[in-house]
Amino acid sequence: MTSQTTLDLLTFNLNNPSRQRAERQLAYLMGRSEEVLVLTETANSAGCDLLESRFHAEGYHVTFPRPGRGERGVMIVSRLATMPGRVVAEYLPHRAVSVTVDTQEGPLDVVGLYVPSRDGTAPKRARKEKFLEDCRLGLPGGKAGQQVVIGDFNILEPDHSPRYGFFKGFEYGFYNWLGEVGYADAYRELHPDSLEYSWVGRTGDGYRYDHAHVSADLRTGLRSCSYVHGPRTCENRLTDHSALTLSLALHPNGVLREPGPPAPHEGTDALFPVPARSEEAPMEDTTWTRIEMLRTWLDENAAPVGDERLWRILKISEEVGEVAEAMHGAAGTNPRKGRSHTWDDVNKELCDVIVTSMVALATCTPDAAKLLDDRLQHLVERVTPS
């Protein structure tokens, strides 16, 4: 038996990390004190492969139903022994992952959710509605037992401030339904009037997307629930979401591993495994992070027309054509259009060619960063006197 007096959980949106950013996330997450980590926005990618394998190697229990290509999901990582939980959603099951951990007070069921985002199109709305309806059918009621539903819900509380007209009744309805079946919003229980946001847009608009809801039996045992903004706001940020930590008055059984940094791996520094430049990090990490963000956005929003690799490679030709158009405009060689562009426009179009090529490369291979660096080094060595 353990002498611990609380059981703590953390939900953390990984933002489908590159391999380099995953290394930094690993160091951060292994240093956290929470026993159970619910990691959302996972993917079938090199970054998530690294997290899964390294957590396994460090002695954690890892539950990671791998999403299909272009899909996102949930990984639950635990320093406590876990057992598989119930199937919560038949539709997009990798977005609703459930495990059970043992406590002196009885089993605790943990359900990690990553609810699909949507835009204004009918297919995306239908997808989100169907997933939330599956969750209503599959989630256990919260009026008895010990259950936590936690993760990135991509929904807001009905009286969220500020109010956004984009959100629909079915989204607010899921939040209300959780309360009707016995769950309490842990953050609101302890901070009824606070205005904090777990995701902030470029224009400064804030959204409380990340949630933890606890069953009635756990409500009186809430010790703390708070947002952890550092991973989102630090200079070399780990993700675009704030994390959310939750502490419950439970006594966990069977801790597998104490918190602490990962063991050194392949010669990297244990506390900060990604140097400014190395075989693993050939380009500034933020560049490839942003490329991954663009690729992810395309995966989720582009029309599914065959093999996406072909369309993204073809897009490079379109961008090259725009460079040519800008050059003609800068030189004034088309008498009908005259000097319609400047050389600054040419430079911008060249940047678009580079970015489009990088997105295409990241679509074709999970090792895009290292492949580009290897190729660049080869080209330099070819023209450099020995």
Write out pLDDT tens, residues 93-120: 999 999 999 999 999 999 999 999 998 8
Please check whether residue 222 is in contact with residue 171, taking contact to mean a CB–CB distance below 8 angstroms. Answer: no
Which of 53, 17, 1, 34 is closest to 226 using CA atoms? 34
Q: What contacts 150, CB < 8 A, 6 or more positions away? A: 9, 11, 38, 110, 111, 112, 113, 211, 212, 213, 244, 246
Write out pLDDT tens, residues 210-248: 999 999 999 999 999 999 999 999 888 999 999 999 999
Write out pLDDT tens, residues 302-348: 776 677 888 889 899 999 999 888 888 888 888 888 888 888 888 88
How confident is the model at residue 183, as a pLDDT? Answer: 98
Write out pLDDT tens, residues 268-302: 333 333 333 333 434 445 687 788 778 878 877 77
Which of 244, 130, 139 is closest to 187 using CA atoms? 244
Considering the chain, what is the average pLDDT of its residues?
Answer: 88
Q: What is the DSSP string of 13-32?
A: E--S--HHHHHHHHHHHHHS
Please check whether residue 41 is in contact with residue 67, taking contact to mean a CB–CB distance below 8 angstroms. Answer: no
Q: Indicate the angle between helix axes 285-301 and 308-331, nearest 10 degrees.
A: 110
Cα dihedral 155, 160, 162, 166 in deg (nearest 10): 40
